[in-house]
Structure 1
Amino acid sequence: MVHYIIQVAAFQLVFLLIYDVLLKRETFFNWNRVYLMGSALISVIIPFIKIDGFKEVVPQKFIINLPEVLIGNATQNNQTNLQLETLITESKPLFEWETILYLGMLLAILGFAFKISKMFWMLARNPKSKHGKLFIVKLQNSNAAFSFFHYIFLGEYLNDNERASILKHEIVHVKEKHTLDLLFFEVLRILFWFNPLVYMYQNRMMTLHEFIADAKAVKNEDKSTYYKNLLTQVFETKNISFINPFFKQSLIKKRIVMLQKSKSKQVHLFKYTVLIPMVFGMLVYTSSIQNLNAQQTNNTDVALNKNSPISELVWAIKRQIQVQGNVSDEEDKGLKFLMKIVKDDSLNPELVNNVKVYANQKNKTQLMEIIVELFNQIQTQGHITSEDEKAIKSLLILTTDGAFDDPFFANELESVEIPFSVIDQVPVFPSCDSLETNDERKACMVKGILDHVSKNFNTKIGKENGLVGTQRINVIFKIDKEGHIVDVRSRAPHSALEAEAIRVIKTLPKMIPGEHKGKKVIVPYSLPIIFQEQDDNPQDKKE
């Protein structure tokens, strides 16, 4: 959430700088209106857009990511940090900054409601008359002038000439639907009440509205008379942010300067093309930052596993299936084509044509895109290695009905790894066997592993090896079909930490193995361990 807010603010700042430096002095008022509205909206939307072509995502291995465990004497010992990705669903506490955020939004909503009620109060207490499709509201004891939707408010102290001039101006606001623009920014002010850039956006839009209305209002009127109306009024504008006021001291000088300004040359329209590389760069950033986060989250897999391009794509397909939770008919069709490619010794023309048609489909889902990318990689590579075939079969076992009874997969069934998300019965500690549901067993299993590591990790290892501060240890291991802990590997800044992590994981008790489709299976795990060692003599080091 914090990162999203920072991105929105950064993008808006860039857009506003471009507007102030290049665009606001031009007389392309309608273009500037589109720019302000569009850039404000784009700033909010872009952080959600992730374009695969702009990133090189390292595919995650289909592995169970346990919560990290915190060990050492810098903070409380034996506590578990459950803030990272975990398969246990539990409610998170509402952080203080979130409370402040929502409280601010509530106050902004109340402020907006007050201003709306003030508008209705003025409508109710002042006489109204119809002027075509518009309504003229006569403000008693006032010389103010402003508009709101199809209502034009005019003070009763305005003389006939002033009323006529002001009415032309305010009618432009109504016809151009300027109130909608300002209400759009009111919504942004509620959602991003803490962001001063939103208020700057609204202020610039309000100024621009006056330029637009002035430019159209003086087409059939003497400019000097118009200037006189602007300069001789007693300024009494209502302080409401979503109305279009005629008299506003801070705008008078700007409006007169802009009225005297010559029309901008058409060649200056090229300035708006700066948006293209700007938006492109923002998309590259938001897409690549997702890749960076993925790399940081999955550094265990990147550090400990090196796979071929085909194997990496297979893992990407598995991960996408896990994310979306199901496979559509069209996605399943692609997996069936993959099955035929692996089963057939040679590709027949019909299969090649079917794959080509499948790859050329429009509106493909993300999973279909990865499947097509796998087809292209197989074609580019020209052959499938034994390791690649094993990886593909491990995928098809999970997605093909009857695969556990198909002789084609017989060899892979001995080593296939079943992910937590689809397994029928998860591996569990012997003490968790009495629990009834899979979710309860998962929670008990995770707690058991974390408690075991916390209690058995040698915390003296830090002092023995002169380690100070926070050390991150990444461990991966598997629970095989007999319930044994196997293939334990680790990566840490110091070899002693790696060895200790492996030792502790290997001391885990024999588990009740996981089962899928009535057969015992291998299940992989990933566990981050955060080891902290406090410096006992910080003063000595300073001296």
Structure 2
Amino acid sequence: MISYILEVSFSWLIFYLAYILLLQQEHFFGVNRGYLLITLITGLWLPFLQIETTYTYPIPQLSYFLEEITVGGQVAETVEYTNYWHWSSILLGIYGIGVFVGVVRFVLSLQKLHSMYKNGMAEHKSFYTLIKTNSIHSPFSFGSYLFISNNIALEKQAYQYVIEHETAHIRQKHTLDLLLVECLSILFWFNPLVFLYKTALRDQHEFLADQAVLSHVPIKEYGQLLIEQSIPGLKIGLVNHLIYSQLKKRINMMTKKKKSNRPPYFRYALSFSAFLLVFWTVSCSKDLPSEAEAEIAEKLSSEKLTASKYKPTESDKTSPLFVAEKMPRFPGCEHIAGNNKAKKTCADEKLLQFIYDNIKYPKKAKKDGTEGVAIVSFIVSETGTIKNPKILRSVSQECDAEVLRIIELMNENGLVWTPGEDGGKLVDVTYNLPIRFKLK
């Protein structure tokens, strides 16, 4: 959960910085609105999109690794363990309170709107409903409803400008944007980026509505109306107000000379690079070699094994292979119908089950809080028995001893692997098995 929140926050931060640096001052308000909505939603689902990219290690074939096996153990009760759960519960409680407060505010806003609708006088127009109220508030719209106060005197021309401004909000369905960002502000109430997005979206809404009026109204006349109508009154977070933000910002945007009617393609291309950066960082998980694999590969490299296969020479008949044409398989799956892949999948599952059924977390390791990955190397001989087990990476004396015990237990229980084959001959093959000891 924490990882998801961090990835979402990182995505929104990069997208928002691109907006501030490249797009905020542009007059293409519809494009900017689309950018904000797309990046807001994209930041939510990108962490779920995971694409693996392969990192080629210089000598990947030298060491055959089985899937890592995790051995869990219940940690002894300690003050630290108790405090961990204590603080996590507190944080979860704080988050729940924040969500509850947000939901209450949301519901109260809807109730206030419903009360104004119920007590107002409705006039049905072609594509919206005009609600005239007796409260003192600046004009605003919500959905297809336009609320205007009877207690604010407006000249006929000014009244028409107000209607045009608010109907622009209605036509362009700005309420849907506000509802989306309001829901996100409830779930991510602790994240200031949500509120920055909310402010940026409201800016674009107002610029778009102003643009609709200014298409046939002089800037000076319309700007004077905004100043005259800058009055205190009812403010509801879910609605589009005629006056909701700093007049200076809106008037500056109105009076700013538009350089060109063509979109600034270079700026939008640069903002698109933010998508690539976030996608690569959040969604592309690199399949890097683990620390353990790197350690073993380095060990093998130091022994001057540079071929993808190491085959025994005439002078070294006892040397095992690291990769064979047919790798050995844990017993119990020869009855499986199908190709070698199906048998290998079955054998890996049975090996995993054997380890889980027999391995035990050493008591001393539990008491000491010992965790880590032990890597054991062993040879599956040409007769199917296990020989020469040894620890390549140590966790502790107790954990290492338990890992060796499990490997040797295969011979003690009479388990005979299906031996490996190479060039039509049965051969010895070396395996490396990572076993992770992790306390819960």
TM-score range, shorter chain: 0.7 to 0.9
Aligned equivalent of 1:419? 348
Aligned equivalent of 2:122? 128
Equivalent positions of 1:349-428 (< 5 A) are 387-391=323-327, 401-402=336-337, 418-420=347-349, 423=350, 426-427=353-354
Question: Does the 8 Å CA contact 1:136/1:151 hold for their aligned counterparts?
Answer: yes
The one of the two structures with greater contact order (alpha-carbon pairs below 8 A, sep at least 6) is 2
Provide the secondary structure at the position in 1 that maps to 2:222: helix
Q: 1:349-369 deviations in whole A, cap 9, x for unaligned?
A: xxxxxxxxxxxxxxxxxxxxx
Aligned equivalent of 1:112? 106
Aligned equivalent of 1:8? 8
Provide the secondary structure at the position in 2 that maps to 1:216: helix
Say whether 1:475 aligns with 2:402: no
TM-score when normalising by structure 2: 0.73
Give 1:140 shift.
0.7
Provide the secondary structure at the position in 1 that maps to 2:3: helix
Equivalent positions of 1:445-460 (< 5 A) are 445=357, 449-450=360-361, 453-455=362-364
Provide the C-alpha distance between the structure 2 equivalents of 1:128 and 1:399, rounded to a whole number of angstroms: 79
Q: 1:324-378 deviations in whole A, cap 9, x for unaligned?
A: xxxxxxxxxxxxxxxxxxxxxxxxxxxxxxxxxxxxxxxxxxxxxxxxxxxxxxx
Aligned equivalent of 1:256? 251
Q: Partner amino acid for 2:105?
A: G
Equivalent pairs: percent with the same residue? 22
Give 1:115 shift.
1.5
Q: 1:234-263 deviations in whole A, cap 9, x for unaligned?
A: 523433222110023x33121111111222
Change (3 A) 1:418 1:188: same
Aligned equivalent of 1:138? 132
Partner residue of 1:219 out of 215, 218, 223: 215
Give 1:477 shift.
6.7
Give 1:62 shift.
4.3
Question: Does the 8 Å CA contact 1:482/1:513 hold for their aligned counterparts?
Answer: no
Aligned equivalent of 1:179? 175
Question: Does the 8 Å CA contact 1:135/1:152 hold for their aligned counterparts?
Answer: yes
Q: Partner amino acid for 2:404?
A: K
Question: Does the 8 Å CA contact 1:24/1:32 hold for their aligned counterparts?
Answer: yes
Q: Partner amino acid for 1:261?
A: K
Change (3 A) 1:416 1:220: closer
Equivalent positions of 1:191-270 (< 5 A) are 191-233=187-229, 235-248=231-244, 250-265=245-260, 266=262, 268-270=264-266
Equivalent positions of 1:493-504 (< 5 A) are 501-504=399-402
Say whether 1:491 aligns with 2:393: yes
Aligned equivalent of 1:44? 44
Provide the C-alpha distance between the structure 2 equivalents of 1:237 and 1:20, rounded to a whole number of angstroms: 30
Give 1:510 shift.
4.2
Say whether 1:66 aligns with 2:70: yes
Question: Does the 8 Å CA contact 1:417/1:521 hold for their aligned counterparts?
Answer: no
Provide the C-alpha distance between the structure 1 equivalents of 2:5 and 2:307, rounded to a whole number of angstroms: 36
Provide the C-alpha distance between the structure 1 equivalents of 2:388 and 2:112, rounded to a whole number of angstroms: 71
Aligned equivalent of 1:97? 91
Give 1:502 shift.
3.3
Provide the secondary structure at the position in 1 that maps to 2:258: coil
Give 1:267 shift.
5.8
Q: Partner amino acid for 2:8?
A: V
Give 1:400 shift.
9.4
Provide the C-alpha distance between the structure 1 equivalents of 2:145 and 2:117, rounded to a whole number of angstroms: 9
Give 1:170 shift.
0.4
Q: Partner amino acid for 1:280?
A: L
Give 1:133 shift.
1.9
Q: 1:429-449 deviations in whole A, cap 9, x for unaligned?
A: xxxxxxxxxxxxx5xx37x51
Aligned equivalent of 1:88? none
Provide the secondary structure at the position in 2 that maps to 1:27: coil
Question: Does the 8 Å CA contact 1:143/1:156 hold for their aligned counterparts?
Answer: no
Aligned equivalent of 2:316? none
Change (3 A) 1:456 1:181: closer
Q: Partner amino acid for 1:427?
A: F
Provide the C-alpha distance between the structure 2 equivalents of 1:144 and 1:483, rounded to a whole number of angstroms: 85
Provide the secondary structure at the position in 2 that maps to 1:387: coil
Q: Greater shift after overlay, 99-108 or 301-310?
A: 301-310
Aligned equivalent of 1:17? 17
Provide the secondary structure at the position in 2 that maps to 1:63: coil
Provide the C-alpha distance between the structure 1 equivalents of 2:225 and 2:352, rounded to a whole number of angstroms: 81
Provide the C-alpha distance between the structure 2 equivalents of 1:144 and 1:309, rounded to a whole number of angstroms: 78
Aligned equivalent of 2:404? 506
Give 1:27 shift.
0.8
Give 1:33 shift.
0.8
Provide the C-alpha distance between the structure 1 equivalents of 2:56 and 2:110, rounded to a whole number of angstroms: 48
Question: Does the 8 Å CA contact 1:147/1:174 hold for their aligned counterparts?
Answer: yes
Give 1:491 shift.
1.0
Equivalent positions of 1:283-298 (< 5 A) are 283-289=279-285, 291=287, 295-296=289-290
CA RMSD of the aligned region, Å? 4.6
Give 1:18 shift.
2.0
Give 1:42 shift.
1.9
Aligned equivalent of 1:463? none
Question: Does the 8 Å CA contact 1:69/1:528 hold for their aligned counterparts?
Answer: no
Change (3 A) 1:166 1:390: same
Provide the C-alpha distance between the structure 1 equivalents of 2:2 and 2:398, rounded to a whole number of angstroms: 36
Provide the C-alpha distance between the structure 1 equivalents of 2:121 and 2:18, rounded to a whole number of angstroms: 45
Give 1:228 shift.
1.9
Question: Does the 8 Å CA contact 1:46/1:286 hold for their aligned counterparts?
Answer: yes
Change (3 A) 1:212 1:69: same
Provide the secondary structure at the position in 2 that maps to 1:449: coil
TM-score when normalising by structure 1: 0.60
Provide the C-alpha distance between the structure 1 equivalents of 2:401 and 2:166, rounded to a whole number of angstroms: 79
